[in-house]
Amino acid sequence: MSWTNHFAYPWAWLLVALVPAVWGLWRCRQRQALATAKTVAGLAGGQLVQGWRAWRKELGLVLASLFLVIAAAGPQWGHDPKGRVAFGRDLIIALDISRSMLARDRPNPENTAMLSRLQRAKIYVADWLDILERQGGYRVGMVWFAGQARLVCPLTDDYRHIRALLDLADPDFWGPAGRIAVSEHGAIGTSLRQGLEVALNAHEPQAEGFQDILLISDGDDQDAYPSEVAAQAQARKIRIHVLGVGRPEPPSYVPGLTPGEFLYQDGKIVETRRRDELLQALTGSTGGEYVPEELASQPVVRWWVRTYSREPKRAWSPLGSPQPRQRSELFFIAAILFLLFTLA
């Protein structure tokens, strides 16, 4: 940040060139006044003697002039208390809504009912939103992805809207056309690369250095490894954190379109397992953190308390860029005090 950003009118610093001129004019007038006084007193031609009183006046005049120039430049720092200023980071949640996220492989901590990976992910994020609604300051956006990805909510501090979208997330929300994509590898149902690309593009350049992605997935990726997207995130100083849902072993089965049945492909039941190696590679390449869901009963809250809430925060305002607070009055007061010091 340039030093000129701390002044509303940095061009006013050109007036500092007048300070020596004011001081020289003062010296000239003082010499003339002293010479006149000595002449009247019959002491013309005597040695010119200046005491502390004269030097005090000169010093006070120079400092008063300098502080007036600073006040005219409009010094500013801190934030205007009249404007709403928040402190936080920007986070895009990339939520996997592929059919593998419907696999029921872990029970509800509160009872023995088996919950799907997506249901548990919703609970984990909702627990964190409870905290965020009380604290505020962070902007959150959301991306849904399977074979394709879409930004369903840009960055916002409306956490209730995020919660509503979280409840709506479902593999069948867009139907097969929105869930399946075609790539060089054929038809794919899950593409981490697609989800991360949309999440990266959802971040705004002005918040660089205070941006993150929280990828929530089982890592059952059917596309190419998203190494290029991870490299882009690293270049933009955007860290990818991952909440891994599911279990690595034993494998689970993907539910079919008919309740109570499983998905088959080529006559074989489709298995799914959490790909820890892939998910850990994503976080490792960007400096993020990998959080497997079994780490805690509230894994996202744990990640928030231990890591994310401690990260550096930026100041921002829902009403626009935070306005710095003007401090000119402090320097005007100092200039007046020095003028009084000069006249005393």
**Residue 192 burial (CB count, 10 A):** 29
Of the pLDDT bands very low, low, confident and very high (cuts 50, 70, 90), residue 173 is confident
What tens digit of pLDDT does each residue of 175-214 get? 766 665 545 544 456 889 999 999 999 999 989 999 999 9
Strand 239-244 vs strand 211-217: parallel, antiparallel, or unpaired?
Answer: parallel
What is the Cα Rg of the chain in Å?
33
Mean of pLDDT over the chain? 82
State mean pLDDT over 240-255.
92
* 3-state helix/strand/coil string of 283-321: HHHHCCCEEEHHHCCCHHHHHHHHCHHHCCCEEEECCEC
3-state secondary structure of 243: strand
pLDDT tens for each residue of 25-52: 766 776 676 666 566 555 544 444 455 5
What percent of the chain has a predicted confidence (pLDDT) above 70?
A: 78
14 pLDDT exceeds 60? yes
Q: Which helix (H) or strand (E) holds 273?
A: none
* Residue 156 Cα distances to 138, 179, 318, angstroms: 8, 25, 9
Asked whether 77 and 60 are in contact (CB, 8 A), the reply is: no
Location of each CATH 3.40.50.410 domain in the chain: 86-316
Range among 75-79, 182-186, 228-232, 244-248 rated most confident: 244-248
What superfamily does domain 86-316 belong to in CATH? von Willebrand factor, type A domain (3.40.50.410)
Q: In the predicted model, is pLDDT for residue 331 greater than 70?
A: yes
Report how far residue 126's alpha carbon sits from residue 166's, in angstroms, rounded to the nearest whole number. Answer: 8
